[in-house]
Amino acid sequence: MYIILFGPPGVGKGTQAKILSEKYNIPHISTGDILREAIANKTELGLRAREIMDAGKLVSDDIMIEIMKETLASPKCANGFILDGYPRTIFQAEELDKIFSELGISNGFIIYIDVKDEEIIRRLSNRRNCKNCGSLYNLLYDKINNRCPKCGANDSIYQREDDKEEVIKKRLAIYKESTLPIKDYYQKKSHLISINGNGDINKITEKILEVINRPMNQSM
């Protein structure tokens, strides 16, 4: 089972990826996680990435693509994987196609989770974190005050800069410029499945499972 999940920030890609990962017993792959893993394992690529990051620079596409290839070719991905939020550019999508070709991956699902900007802003601007334990909450669903329900710390609940409305709007603008073109890229190749990301988490999971289990499956 090979699944690529993508869409704007705040549509629930990570949440759905975790659910599907547990259901199908395949790894949930995100660029942040595999980068940290490569650095922690002190692989050749990880050491190169660490050197770049220590210099205050962004890890290049070339290195990230090699780390991605290394990860997808590893034994843990032998039975499939779920890519969360990758690729993010047309170049990455093209390179990912090459990796899939080299690994003999020819079937799977590219799923675009679609949510309107207004709803994304509403969701993200209501997120709150605990300074003490890092727990994440959302005022739309969680009844909290300044005390963290998990660790009990007082005056620990705060809003991250990334979750403030003006920053969210900037993130969406960057997404539309650099990542949204991937939607057209996959549509032209007849590989894209769009899912309405509004509503209950379980309902969205049901929509995704319905597509995956459909008799006439779409393929990459």
| Active site amino acids | 13, 88, 127, 160, 171
Which three-class secondary structure state does DSSP give residue 128? Answer: strand
The 10 Å Cβ neighbour count of residue 166 is 8
**Ordered alpha helix ranges (H), the chain:** 13-24, 31-40, 44-54, 61-72, 90-103, 117-125, 165-178, 181-188, 201-212
48: left (phi over 0), alpha (psi -120 to 50) or beta: alpha
- In angstroms, the CA 93 to CA 90 distance is 5
Cα 178–Cα 3–Cα 181 angle in degrees, nearest 5:
20
